[in-house]
């Protein structure tokens, strides 16, 4: 199913809201196709006496009449006769005398869509006679309901802009449960699936002849809070969607009023038992809340560990021991920052740019007491999974601290952090560089400290990336890290 919007926008005959109305129709006409057991094709005039197919939908309740799609194709001459007649008269046309031989044996209807007195387009319905059989009561009610909706389309009364367009899971479909009401809200017909859905709420086996609103409200009368839209949907007065939750059972409902220009003379109500769907959704919400709470507690515990290390460092007499505890405290605080960000979201991903906006400047300030060090951050990290965010934040922490303590070595200067995403071997990669304008790399060999050992270990084993130290224009040092973003795939 598709809709060629460019064809619509090139036509000046469309009035205000007509294009949106056609989009609304195509978004909801699966309902009509299922009720009519027929394919539906939307034809739009081309301006040269012909028509082009803008959309095509097949029924989910019967075999399709066509295995090919008509979207973008011009109408055939034999079908155009009926479509022209529907367009000229503004009335529904049927192939009554003989089957319409478009592809195989099928009966066809041409339904002009008229909105506010303007002819907008034509729908043709194609019912495959090869799959026809003696019609059951359900099929007769379905087809009559489809024709009622199509006739409303000839008056611009369906689809209604007040109809629900949300994408909440569990929206009812024709096959899930179908109820037809009269003007008073009394059930004229209820499909077996609809009866089963209401039986789960505690209703009687027979709905026909009863007021759907009275039956339902009697079942849920002891609820303290009732959706105010529920009676209007149950009586078919408004084209809305609502949901009943009672005794552990969830029923999703949608009403489609049947009316003409003067009055409402009936309604269709679709219903669906979404109990298991809502139960799984609640489980997911509970799991998400539990995961967030775990991250929150881990963050608090790590902050407690950092505070204990800070207290211990104050009692140390050895300068080397005090420095070692302070570095351990800083590393623990970095991991805690990642868990803090994870505790605020529903996914196991981190907005790493937000983390670095706060953390990078803080790292440099802690490492440079008494110095004036400018921090520059460029590029975008994007969203990173937690298994990458934690080691990468530790690596940036160590490298930024190393740039201040050893690169600048007590003097004023600048530390820059640049992030860039790129493609490599058909895979997304991230390049991170940290540079300073300090003394540059030492000429003699120097033993790596614990910080650089941590960096190499994390980059190679955790991030599965590569790291390179280079001299920057004879002054300053740049460390470049390249790592794949699809960690799980690269680890296989």
- The predicted-structure confidence for 156-186, as pLDDT tens digits, reads as follows 999 988 876 665 567 899 999 999 999 999 9
Q: What is the CATH number of the domain that holds 481?
A: 3.30.565.10
Same domain, 228 and 260: yes
Same domain, 264 and 127: no
Residue pair 189/58 in contact (Cβ under 8 Å)? The answer is: no
Given pLDDT bands bounded at 50, 70 and 90, which one contains residue 492? very low
Q: In this model, does residue 359 exceed pLDDT 90?
A: no
Q: In this model, does residue 288 exceed pLDDT 70?
A: no
Same domain, 42 and 100: yes
Range of the domain at 94: 5-153
Q: Residue 39 is inside which H or E element, if any? A: strand 39-45
Q: Identify the pLDDT of residue 99.
A: 41
Mean pLDDT of 329-339: 70
In a domain, 163, yes or no: no
What is the spatial distance between Cα 110 and Cα 339, in angstroms, rounded to a whole number? Answer: 61
Q: Identify the pLDDT of residue 192.
A: 93
In a domain, 129, yes or no: yes
Same domain, 429 and 307: no
Q: Identify the pLDDT of residue 291.
A: 62
Same domain, 9 and 122: yes
Q: Could you give the angle at which helices 192-201 and 212-219 cross, rounded to 10 degrees?
A: 30
In a domain, 167, yes or no: no
In a domain, 162, yes or no: no
Residue pair 397/327 in contact (Cβ under 8 Å)? The answer is: no
Domain boundary residue among 153, 187, 218? 153
Same domain, 352 and 387: yes
Mean pLDDT of 204-218: 88
43 to 111, 117, 172, 303, 343: CA distances (angstroms): 10, 18, 28, 66, 52
Given pLDDT bands bounded at 50, 70 and 90, which one contains residue 128? confident
Indicate the SS3 state at residue 159.
Answer: coil
Q: Alpha-carbon dihedral of residues 60, 66, 72, 76, nearest 10 degrees?
A: -140
343 to 165, 291, 298, 347, 368: CA distances (angstroms): 32, 8, 9, 9, 30
Which of 468, 360, 369, 371 is CA-nearest to residue 417? 360
Q: In this model, does residue 445 exceed pLDDT 70?
A: no
Domain boundary residue among 347, 362, 387? 347
Q: Identify the pLDDT of residue 96.
A: 53
Q: Identify the pLDDT of residue 222.
A: 56
The DSSP-derived string for 294-336 is: HHHHHHHHHHHHHHHHHHHHHT---HHHHHHHHHHHHHHHHHH
Domain boundary residue among 118, 153, 188? 153
- Which residues partner with 463 through β-bridges? none
Same domain, 361 and 298: no
Q: What is the CATH number of the domain that holds 139?
A: 3.30.450.280
In a domain, 383, yes or no: yes
Same domain, 424 and 445: yes
Mean pLDDT of 392-405: 84
**Residue 448 carries which DSSP code?**
-
Q: Identify the pLDDT of residue 489.
A: 41
Mean pLDDT of 322-333: 71
Mean pLDDT of 221-227: 58
Given pLDDT bands bounded at 50, 70 and 90, which one contains residue 107? confident
310 CB neighbour count, 10 Å cutoff: 16
Task: Report the half-sphere exposure of 264 (CA within 13 A, side-chain side).
Answer: 18
Indicate the SS3 state at residue 400.
Answer: helix
Q: Identify the pLDDT of residue 290.
A: 62
Same domain, 27 and 79: yes
Q: In this model, does residue 267 exceed pLDDT 60?
A: yes
Mean pLDDT of 7-22: 75
Q: How many domains does the chain have?
A: 4
What is the spatial distance between Cα 83 and Cα 112, in angstroms, rounded to a whole number? Answer: 8
Which residues, 6 or more positions from 185, have their beta carbon under 8 angstroms from its beta carbon? 211, 212, 213, 234, 235, 236, 237, 267
Residue pair 230/244 in contact (Cβ under 8 Å)? The answer is: yes
What is the spatial distance between Cα 292 and Cα 286, in angstroms, rounded to a whole number? Answer: 10
Same domain, 261 and 322: no
Q: In this model, does residue 98 exceed pLDDT 60?
A: no
Q: What is the pTM of this model?
A: 0.61
* Of the candidate ranges 2-6, 54-58, 150-154, 316-320, the one whose mean pLDDT is the lowest: 2-6
Q: In this model, does residue 272 exceed pLDDT 50?
A: yes
In a domain, 159, yes or no: no
Alpha-helical (H) ranges within 172-274 are 192-201, 212-219, 230-234
Same domain, 60 and 91: yes
Q: Identify the pLDDT of residue 185.
A: 94
Q: Identify the pLDDT of residue 419.
A: 92
Given pLDDT bands bounded at 50, 70 and 90, which one contains residue 8? low
Q: Identify the pLDDT of residue 168.
A: 58
Q: How far is CA 324 from the centre of its chain?
A: 48
Mean pLDDT of 194-198: 92
Q: Identify the pLDDT of residue 132.
A: 61
In a domain, 165, yes or no: no
Same domain, 17 and 126: yes
Q: Identify the pLDDT of residue 420.
A: 92
Q: In this model, does residue 296 exceed pLDDT 80?
A: no
**Residue 215 carries which DSSP code?**
H
In a domain, 405, yes or no: yes
């Amino acid at each position: 199913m598709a809709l060629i919007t460019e064809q619509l926008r090139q036509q000046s005959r469309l009035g205000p809201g007509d294009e949106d109305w056609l989009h609304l129709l195509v978004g909801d006409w699966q309902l009509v196709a299922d009720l009519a057991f027929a394919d539906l094709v939307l034809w739009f005039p081309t301006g040269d006496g012909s028509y082009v197919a803008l959309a095509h939908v097949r029924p989910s309740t019967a075999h399709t009449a066509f295995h090919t799609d008509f979207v973008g194709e011009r109408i055939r001459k034999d079908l155009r006769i009926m479509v022209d007649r529907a367009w000229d008269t503004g009335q529904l046309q049927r192939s009554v005398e003989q089957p319409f031989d478009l592809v195989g044996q099928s009966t066809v209807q041409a339904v002009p869509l008229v909105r506010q007195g303007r002819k907008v387009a034509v729908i043709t319905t194609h019912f495959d006679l090869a799959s026809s059989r003696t019609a059951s009561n359900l099929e007769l009610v379905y087809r009559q309901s489809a024709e009622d909706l199509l006739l409303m389309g000839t008056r611009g009364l369906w689809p209604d802009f007040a109809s629900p367009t949300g994408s909440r899971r569990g929206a009812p479909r024709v096959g899930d449960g179908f109820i037809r009401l009269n003007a008073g809200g009394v059930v004229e017909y209820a499909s077996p699936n609809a009866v089963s859905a209401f039986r789960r709420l505690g209703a009687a086996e027979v709905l026909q002849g009863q007021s759907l609103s009275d039956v339902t409200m009697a079942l849920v009368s002891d609820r303290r809070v009732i959706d105010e839209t529920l009676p209007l949907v149950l009586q078919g007065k408004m084209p809305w969607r609502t949901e009943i939750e009672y005794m552990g059972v969830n029923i999703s409902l949608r009403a489609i009023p049947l009316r003409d220009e003067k009055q409402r003379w009936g309604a269709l109500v679709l219903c669906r038992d979404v109990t298991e769907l809502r139960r799984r959704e609640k489980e997911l919400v509970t799991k998400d809340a539990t995961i967030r709470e775990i991250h929150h507690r881990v963050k608090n515990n790590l902050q407690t560990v950092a505070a204990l290390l800070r207290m211990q460092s104050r009692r140390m007499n050895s300068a080397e021991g005090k420095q070692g505890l302070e570095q351990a405290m800083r590393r623990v605080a970095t991991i805690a920052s990642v868990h803090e960000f994870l505790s605020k979201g529903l996914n196991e991903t981190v907005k790493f740019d937000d983390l670095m906006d706060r953390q990078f400047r803080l790292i440099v300030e802690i490492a440079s007491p008494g110095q004036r060090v400018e921090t520059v951050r460029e590029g975008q990290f994007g969203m990173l999974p937690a298994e990458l965010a934690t080691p990468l934040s530790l690596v940036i922490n160590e490298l930024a601290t190393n740039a201040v303590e050893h690169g600048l070595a007590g003097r004023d200067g600048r530390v820059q952090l640049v992030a860039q995403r790129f493609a490599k071997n058909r895979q997304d990669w991230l390049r991170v560089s940290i540079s300073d304008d300090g003394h540059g790399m030492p000429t003699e060999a120097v033993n790596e400290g614990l910080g650089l050992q941590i960096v190499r270990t994390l980059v190679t084993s955790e991030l599965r990336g590569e790291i390179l130290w280079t001299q920057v224009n004879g002054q300053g040092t740049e460390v470049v890290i390249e790592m794949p973003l699809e960690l799980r795939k690269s680890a296989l």
